[in-house]
Each structure stands twice: as C-alpha cells, then as structure tokens.
Amino acid sequence: MKKRLTWLMILTLIMVSIISACGSEKESKTNNASEEPTAEVDTKKPVTYSINVVDPKFKWTGTPVGDAFTEATGVTMNYTPVIGDVNQKYEIWAASGDYTDILMLTPYHLQRFKNNGNIIPLEDLIDQYGPNIKKKLGKYYDLLKDEDGHIYSIYGIRQANESPAGTQASFAVQYKVLEEAGYPEIKTLDQLFEVIKAYYEKHPTVDGSKTIPWSGLGLQMIANNSAISAAGKPDHGAYFMDENNNVKLAYTSEFTKEYLKFLNRFHQEGMLDPELFSLNQETGSAKIAQGRVLGGYFPQWLLSNPESTLTATGKTDSLYAKFPVLLNDGVEDKANAMVLPSSSNYWSITDKAKKPERIIQFIDYLFTDEGQKLINWGVEGAHYDVVDGKRVRKQEVIDGPNENPDYGYNQGFGGPVVVFSYGDGAKLDDGDYATSSTRESIKSLLDPKTKEVLSKYNKELWSDFLSEPALIPAFLWQVPRPEYVQDIQYIFDDLQPIVNKEVPRIIMSKSDADFEQAWTSFVQAVEKKGSKTLEEAYTKMWQEYTAKFNELN
C-alpha cells in the first residue's frame, strides 16, 4: 500500500481489492435488496471526515470513484498524508492530540491511541448503524473485541473461498537464465544457486555493465521474510510458530542460519550484490529495471514497477519467473496461507469526529455489494460494463495508466479502504466476482514471453506454483496487542541494531569457520537482550487469539 504504483500495481490493487470505498445508509437506492438497512440517519447531508494515508497521490474529491461514493453516502474523505517516519508522526499525534477524525492504524499504533483515550468504543454504534458489518463478519465479529470487551477498530474479513489467482511466490529468476538452462525444475536453494551460477559464469556483463547474480531488498527482508519463506512457513514477519503453536523469533532459528549460509555462498563466489543491505524500494526497483539482476527475493509489490519498465523497453527476457523455493527437499511447503483480516491496518474513530454514526454507516456501505463494486470495479459505465450478467472492465481502464501513470489516482482508485474489500475469489450475490482479479483476467494481461515461460512448466499463472492455501486466524502483526506485549516491545526494538550489524557480518564471512563463529556470537547477543521474554509474551498473545478463533469455528 505504501508503494509507488505504476498501472500494473494500480490494476493489481484494484484486482486484489486494495482500493477506495465509503459509508452506508438506510435509504440509499444502491443498497442491495438482500442486505439489511441501517438505522435512521440523514445520510444525504454532506459531511467530510479526515483520515490518514501513506501515499500523497491518493485522491477522493473530483474523481469518478470518490464522487460516486459521496453521492451514495453524503460522505467525503479528506486524505491527510503521513510522510516520512510514520512511527514518529503517530507518536507526535498521540501526544499532541492533533490527529484525524478516522485513524488507520496497525495494532501496534492502535494500542497507543487507545491507552491515551483518543479513540472511541464502537460496539454500540455498530449495533445501531452497522448491520452489514455484523452480517459479513458473522461468527468472527467477536474477534474485533479488545481484552476489555470493547471494539476500538474495524477491519474487513475475507469472504473468498478460493486462492487468489494473482498471488505469486517471491523467489525470482530471470527468464533468460531459465531459457539457457533448459527450463529446469527449481524447488530448492541449491538448485537456485547452481542455475544462477552457471549463467553468470557465461555472462559476467549485461549491456556493458557487471551482472549482479543475486540481490534483494534490505536487511530486514533477509532476516525475516526470505528465510521464513524458504522454510515453508507463513510470513509472520520476524516470528514463526513451532509445532506446539509457540511463537519463536526467526532471527536465531536454524532455518535462518541455513538461509544465511545460502547467501554466504553467493558472497564467497563473488556473486552477491554489494549494495544488498542498503537497498530500499526506490533503489532496488531502479537496479532491477536495468536488467542485470539475475535473481533475488523480490515480493510482488517490488517487481511491479521495474517489470513494467523492462516490458516497455522490450527486455521481456529479463522479466522474472516466481518460484516457491525451499531450503531443501525435506521441507514441507506451508507458506501459502490465507488469513481472515484483509489488512494489517484497521479503522478507528477518534474523539474528534463529529457524528461518528455517519462513519459507521460509511463503513457499513463498504460491506454491501454496491459498495464492493465501487471499491473493486469503479463506476459502471465509466470503468466497467455488464455483459451477459458479468462485469467486464473497459479497455480504456486497462490501457489508461500506460498513457498516464497517475491514471488510477485520478480515477479515485487506491486509498485506506483496502481493509474492507472481500478479497479475490469472493463472489457477490449476483454470482459474479467481487474483484476483477480472476484467472482469466490475469491471463489476459500476461505478455507473450511470460506465457511461453509458464508453458514450459505446464502452468498458466505464477499462482499455480504455490501450495494449496491453508486458512490461519491472522498473521501475527494483525493481532491486537495487549498491554503485556506492548510493554516489552522495547526488547524487539533493542534487537534491531544487533541484527543490522551482525547479519551482514555473518553473510560476508570469508570461510565456513568464520560463519559459524559469527552465527554463534549473533545468537548469544540476541538471547542476552531478552528474546525469550519476547517469545513468551507473543506466545501468550497468539494462543489467546487462536483459542478465541477456534471457539468460533
């Protein structure tokens, strides 16, 4: 969400339900007849609410989608961009009281504002003005409740029963590497290493510049996401769950050690990007767009911009195949997880908001079929047509961003309402999909080279490489944080300088003996900072949450 979006990302966001919406009303003629009306409120009277966003390009007023929401609900959203250090900004807001009417917050920040008394309980408002909220959350409604019994935030719950067709793995290898190797099977880190090494030895330069065999995106993604993915585990950030449902810190796990050894092999062979540890989204995207990075761990949101550039410049052989790659043949792949919360950002209503019932009705509208159509498809006639009972996106909507990168913003797509989309694979009451991200729609966007590469593996989409998704209660970072977790968060913060210093030293070890010594020193330093205390607190939180989840099933 916080990324700079090209059309491919805008379209993907539209397709994966990361887009705009608004409130609900009793008398709105757009309400689906099968959905319940909300309590009596003058929903046609214009009202404006401020809400924080992370992208200053998001627009509401004067856009087709934003204007359609306002016409349906009377609500206008005034976006307040939060630029720079988000944590610092929220701390200033919490201390000063200078915050927006609606706050979109992670569980970490939510607790801070709740403790200050800045946000209001919502359960009574939902009972009176949010029938569709309760209807769609169904048996999972109680998951919204805080430990004190109140509801301080609302998020969407996925209504999909099938795996999103647009999902893809994050281990990436250029097409030209695979083509030269004869399109080999790549399921383990060893296989990945060997195919990249073989190509690099024959092609040390690309267009006169040095080839970069392996890269990535900064240190935290190395220490967290990529190692966890290679271990075949759901991506809980810096943590994972063991066989007894205990939360463990991934930094010092055996699978992280094995993954760092994989990177150390690249280093010892002179094949590791020397800027690996300092790359961010902007610099990493620019480097990938040059076409000289053979492989890396690249999440879907990172590849969107550079792959669009590569396609536009005719370098489709430098696009990437996306494989789920595991530590070894003995690892069971359980990384593909579906979670109930559709985002890790939740909406809270602050004590500054006038007529908070209008905000609840606003959210309630998002839980109707008409609201979902606006969120995911836009305005009928402007962004899509209904053909033979099915919604079909207009060609100018597909092509528009190729002519103007800001097309999606100017239409009103994008924004903080991501948390209320039903998700890819969900269907509305008319039997058609809630989003435009279907197998056929995604296949229609693939370029000829990508189709050719996929066919070599007897696949149609990158999602076909993934294991069957398993439903889990949430990712750890989506779980509301109780006080006892909030109170020891400083331990995790204190670990970051150690990770930032020691992980590069481990990866850049000159010998196996140096690697072992550096790893042992790192583990000891992490444990000395209190990692066990951190694990115990998170285990308690996770097991309490999953117990509540299991009671509802």
Residue 1: per-residue pLDDT: 33
CB neighbour list of residue 495: distance below 8 Å, 6 or more residues apart: 251, 526, 529, 531
Token duo for residue 213: 């065999």
Question: Is residue 300 packed enough to be buried (19+ CB in 10 Å), middle (13-18) or exposed (0-12)?
Answer: middle
Q: Please give the chain's pLDDT, 553 residues, in tens.
A: 333 333 333 333 333 333 333 333 333 333 333 345 444 555 678 999 999 998 899 999 999 999 999 999 999 999 999 988 888 888 899 888 899 999 999 888 888 899 889 999 999 999 999 999 999 999 999 999 988 899 999 998 888 877 788 899 999 999 999 999 999 999 999 999 999 999 999 999 998 999 999 999 877 778 788 999 999 999 999 999 999 999 999 999 999 999 999 999 999 999 999 999 988 888 888 999 999 999 999 998 889 889 988 998 899 999 999 999 999 999 999 999 888 887 778 999 999 999 999 999 999 999 999 999 999 999 999 999 999 999 999 999 988 877 787 899 999 998 888 789 998 888 999 999 999 888 888 998 899 999 999 999 999 999 999 998 888 899 999 998 888 998 999 999 999 999 999 999 999 999 999 999 999 999 999 999 999 999 999 999 999 999 999 998 8
Cα(489)–Cα(102) distance, rounded to whole angstroms?
25
Cα(280)–Cα(288) distance, rounded to whole angstroms?
12
Question: What angle separates helix 512-528 from helix 531-551, to the nearest 10 degrees?
Answer: 70
Cα(372)–Cα(359) distance, rounded to whole angstroms?
17
Residue identified by tokens 């209503």 is: 349
DSSP type of residue 382 = T
Question: Beta-carbon neighbour count of residue 8 at 10 Å?
Answer: 17
Q: Which domains does the chain have, with CATH numbers?
A: 7-163+340-440 (3.40.190.10), 171-338+445-473 (3.40.190.10), 477-551 (no CATH)
* Closest to 60 in 3D by CA, of 450, 363, 417: 417
Cα(103)–Cα(87) distance, rounded to whole angstroms?
14
For the whole prediction, is pTM greater than 0.75?
Answer: yes
Residues 75, 49 contacting (CB under 8 angstroms): yes
Cα(188)–Cα(328) distance, rounded to whole angstroms?
5
Cα(460)–Cα(458) distance, rounded to whole angstroms?
7
Cα 322–Cα 323–Cα 329 angle in degrees, nearest 5: 170
Q: What size, in residues, is the chain?
A: 553
Question: Beta-carbon neighbour count of residue 381 at 10 Å?
Answer: 10
Residue identified by tokens 């969400």 is: 1
Residues 107, 78 contacting (CB under 8 angstroms): no
β-sheet bridge partners, residue 209 = 206
Annotate 192-211 with DSSP letters as a single string: HHHHHHHHHHH--EETTEE-
Residue 42: per-residue pLDDT: 58
β-sheet bridge partners, residue 323 = 171
Residue 552: per-residue pLDDT: 85
SS3 (DSSP) at 508: coil
Question: Is residue 76 packed enough to be buried (19+ CB in 10 Å), middle (13-18) or exposed (0-12)?
Answer: middle
Question: Beta-carbon neighbour count of residue 332 at 10 Å?
Answer: 10
Give the chain's end-to-end CA distance (angstroms, integer): 31
Residue 471: per-residue pLDDT: 85
Strand 320-323 to 205-206 pairing: unpaired
